[in-house]
Amino acid sequence: MARLLATLVAALLLVATPAAAQLPIFDAHIHYSRPDWDAYTPERVLSILAQAGVRRAIVSSTPDDGTLRLYDRSPAGIVPFLRPYRTREDMDSWTRDPAVAAYVEERLDKRHVYRGIGELHLGAQDVDAPTVRRIAELAKARDLFVQCHIDETTVEKMLTTYPGVKILWAHAGMSSTAATVGRLLDRYPMLWVELALRTDVASDGTLDPEWRALFVRRPDRFMVGTDTWTTSRWEVVRQATAAVQQWLSQLPRDVAEQIAWKNGERLFPPP
């Protein structure tokens, strides 16, 4: 019996050791939108995040009610961002729709819980549009981040058009190179970057040397993310987070900790 117990304890320790080495994750890109509500209860969503090692997460949703459903159940774990899309159709017209600007302002006034506005989709031609301008004004006045899914030309135009507005650049531009991202970070102190869906950072499981050098040089400006943009993405949250953990393990520990969770905690302190 004693030998059996010793064997079981040893086996448990072997299983537990890799988990103990995992970093807590601050996920900077989660959605809980209307199609998700029937498939996953808020409790199930929070469980999925916890099982993936996600300590806290930036959440935005279409419509915004999904974000608040999660926040009201876990205010310590959810960092609410206000997405301006009432329905997916708003994605095509929001930049010039005064009703969207009114919706955003009304929601911000009703619940003083939001830490940012977004995720927003726009092109360089939309940067000066009325609703974009109003959102930038609201963000600056209320010290909120604006999370933007935009290319490198558009992010630079946003930063120059709206100085003083804190921009969280979704997906690092989706396809922008490490050199381009580094140049923009060097030039614009109000820019932070999240890496949702950027599997090219470590396409074969090995961290790309250029990205590694940038992370080491600018460790305070990056966060990781998953992007549950469609309901099926909830099935791969743990897998996506595990892939991130793999390349984080190839960085110096202090750099990995900043990117994994410390930057999120610093920028969005718990309530």
pLDDT at 213 > cutoff 60: yes
What is the model's pLDDT at position 11?
A: 33
Place of tokens 């909830």: 234
- Residue 72: inside a domain: yes
Q: How far is CA 168 from CA 26, 115, 116, 171, 174, in A?
A: 14, 12, 9, 9, 13
What is the model's pLDDT at position 207?
A: 98
What is the model's pLDDT at position 236?
A: 97
- Residue 6: inside a domain: no
pLDDT tens for each residue of 114-125: 999 999 999 999
Global pTM reads: 0.91
Q: How far apart are CA 198 and CA 196, in angstroms?
A: 6
What is the model's pLDDT at position 6?
A: 33
User: Between 130-142 and 98-110, two packed helices, what is the crossing angle to 10 degrees?
Assistant: 20
Q: Which residues lie below 8 Å from residue 196, measured CB to CB, with a gap of 6+?
A: 28, 29, 170, 171, 224, 225, 226, 227
- Residue 73: inside a domain: yes
- Residue 8: inside a domain: no
Mean pLDDT of 193-212: 97
- Residue 4: inside a domain: no
Residue 153 lies in domain:
27-267
- Residue 16: inside a domain: no
Least confident of 56-65, 86-95, 217-226, 238-247: 86-95
Percent of the chain with pLDDT over 90: 92
Tell me the pLDDT of the chain averaged across its residues: 93
Q: What CATH number does the domain containing 219 carry?
A: 3.20.20.140
Apex 16 CA angle, 10 and 19, nearest 5: 160
CB 227 within 8 A of CB 197: yes
Q: How far apart are CA 119 and CA 184, in angstroms?
A: 20
What is the model's pLDDT at position 21?
A: 64
Q: pLDDT grade, residue 271 (50/70/90)?
A: confident
- Residue 5: inside a domain: no
> How many domains are contained in the chain?
1
Take residue 239 and report the two structure tokens written for it. 């897998």
Q: How far is CA 173 from CA 153, 181, 198, in A?
A: 9, 8, 9
Mean pLDDT of 12-40: 77
Q: Which residues lie below 8 Å from residue 218, measured CB to CB, with a gap of 6+?
A: 182, 185
pLDDT at 12 > cutoff 90: no
Task: Say whether the peptide bond before residue 252 is cis (omega within 30 degrees of 0).
Answer: no
pLDDT at 15 > cutoff 50: no
Sheet of strand 145-149: strand arrangement: 25-31, 54-60, 78-82, 116-121, 145-149, 166-169, 191-194, 222-223
Mean pLDDT of 161-174: 98
pLDDT at 13 > cutoff 60: no
Q: Which residues lie below 8 Å from residue 133, measured CB to CB, with a gap of 6+?
A: 162
What is the model's pLDDT at position 19?
A: 39
Give the H or E element holding residue 116: strand 116-121
pLDDT tens for each residue of 144-164: 999 999 999 999 999 999 999
Quick check: helix, strand or coil at residue 84?
A: coil
pLDDT at 110 > cutoff 80: yes
pLDDT tens for each residue of 18-29: 433 699 999 999
- Residue 20: inside a domain: no
What is the end-to-end Cα distance of the chain in Å, rounded?
A: 49
73: exposed, middle or buried (Cβ count in 10 Å: 0-12, 13-18, 19+): middle
Task: Say whether the peptide bond before residue 210 is cis (omega within 30 degrees of 0).
Answer: no
Q: Which of 28, 62, 19, 57 is nearest to 171 (CA)?
A: 28
